[in-house]
Amino acid sequence: MTYFKNTELIPEDPILCIPPLFAADQRPNKVNLGVGAYRDAEGHPLVLTSVQKAEVRLLEQNLNNEYLPMDGDPGFIEESLKLAMGEDSPHRSRVYASQTVGGSGALKIAGDFLKEQFPNSTLYLSHPSWSNHRHIFSRCGFELGHYPYSHNHTLDFEEMCDAIKMMKNGDLILFHACCHNPTGIDPTFDQWKIISTLVKEKGLFPIFDMAYQGFSGGLDQDAAVIRHFADEGHEMALTISHSKNFGLYGERIGLLAFFVDSADTVKKLASQIKSTVRGIYSSPPAHGARIVKTILQSPELTLEWKEELVNMRDRIIEMRKALVAELYSTKSSIDFSFIQNQRGLFSMTGLNREQVSLLRAEHGIYMPSNGRMNIAGVTSKNVKTVAEAFNEVL
């Protein structure tokens, strides 16, 4: 007898199913190109030295472990917002922000709240998008639509704009602020300007997911679209993850910000978001917020962190080049030069589901079945193996 006889077994998460499979693989030359987490030149997880130093400072302060407010640590919120909006943003008084449980937590809180505000609207995602976008927003009850995004490894700008023109007033549209996951392709700033105008003309509500600030052109450049939309007067939501740019994956540290029309609306939103948080997890965890705040409030640690961020970005760019060069030298039948032009952790290799499973079975190379690869998993030691394996399965 079970109460769960009608409970169905559902497929595993396409990305988070990979780490245990990879860990169980006994082959010494296995390569993990799966979950989007940075790896150092040896292929290992990286703990930033700025983070280590911040943790020492925190330990020395002998802090207590009281609950944070429902919307988190105010010092962290200010610092994280400054990274996104720039110092002294003229928009600060029309922004409400809450610390969240990672970027996923920000999306979930935003989704639950927005579904109440826009009960009959469609929420549009790029096609493709991060698989968890669909998962989170459909669980919030949204009807989802998709807009074309990439074709032949480049941005499908015309088609994307045409699709936006077909959306209804009051629909919602999610954009990736930089380092689009999974394609690694972003609109140029001029294209963002056109998108902003279209979004305004159509009366859409934009949501920006920014999980990779600093991994494309730099901290300011990667947030330029947010600042532009703010300057253009949009009301919008912004979800931020500090998993990648601070290497704080397991600390679950993120931010949700709403840009609205006035300080009066900010107050109402604050009450709503706090109530949403209270109904799910009451208040966020403290440690990740304290680390980020400690770094960003210290000029010396901020400088060190920025250098570490540049190093992570540069290593990925270097590995993009190395992989393309290796693919050329192993006489790939496919032009992989696009990998070099893309930014952030990911590129869509174009490998199909069967080729991905062959890579795993024959070569111990792991990536999600849609063929997305985490470039940070490539090192100068494994790049040749990866290129040869790609060629073999093709």
CB 152 within 8 A of CB 137: no
* CA 220 to each of CA 79, 86, 186, 315: distance values in angstroms, whole numbers, following the listed order: 14, 7, 15, 20
Q: What is the DSSP string of 63-115?
A: ---PPPPTT--HHHHHHHHHHHH-TT-TTGGGEEEEEEEHHHHHHHHHHHHHH
Q: Which of 30, 31, 33, 35: binder of ligand LMR (CB under 6 A)?
A: 35
Q: Which of 15, 230, 289, 322: binder of ligand LMR (CB under 6 A)?
A: 15
Q: Is the dihedral of CA 232, 233, 236, 241 positive or negative?
A: positive
Distance (Å, whole) CA 204 – CA 209: 16
- Nearer to ligand LMR among residue 45 and residue 233 (C-beta): 45
377 near ligand LMR, judged by CB under 6 A: no
36 near ligand LMR, judged by CB under 6 A: yes
Backbone dihedral angles phi then psi of residue 163, each to the nearest 5 degrees:
-65, -40
Spatial CA neighbour of 283 closest among 99, 111, 104, 110: 99
- Nearer to ligand LMR among residue 130 and residue 149 (C-beta): 130
Given 244, 274, 293, 305, the catalytic residue = 244
- Nearer to ligand LMR among residue 95 and residue 240 (C-beta): 240
Beta strands in 92-227 (DSSP E): 95-101, 122-127, 143-148, 150-151, 154-155, 172-176, 205-210
Q: Degrees (nearest 5) of the Cα angle 237, 243, 249? A: 135
In the annotation, is 231 catalytic?
Answer: no
132 near ligand LMR, judged by CB under 6 A: yes
Cβ 220 to ligand LMR, closest distance in Å?
Answer: 23
- Nearer to ligand LMR among residue 130 and residue 259 (C-beta): 130
100 near ligand LMR, judged by CB under 6 A: no
22 near ligand LMR, judged by CB under 6 A: no
Given 71, 209, 222, 293, the catalytic residue = 209
179 near ligand LMR, judged by CB under 6 A: no
The residue nearest ligand LMR at its CB is: 36
379 near ligand LMR, judged by CB under 6 A: no
In the annotation, is 209 catalytic?
Answer: yes
130 near ligand LMR, judged by CB under 6 A: yes
- Nearer to ligand LMR among residue 35 and residue 77 (C-beta): 35
Cβ 132 to ligand LMR, closest distance in Å?
Answer: 5
- Token pair in block for residue 26: 């006994």
- Nearer to ligand LMR among residue 132 and residue 298 (C-beta): 132
Distance (Å, whole) CA 82 – CA 277: 23
Q: Degrees (nearest 5) of the Cα angle 55, 58, 64? A: 130
Spatial CA neighbour of 374 closest among 351, 335, 348: 348
Cβ 44 to ligand LMR, closest distance in Å?
Answer: 17
Enumerate the active-site residues: 130, 209, 244
Residues that bind ligand LMR (CB under 6 A): 15, 35-36, 130, 132, 181
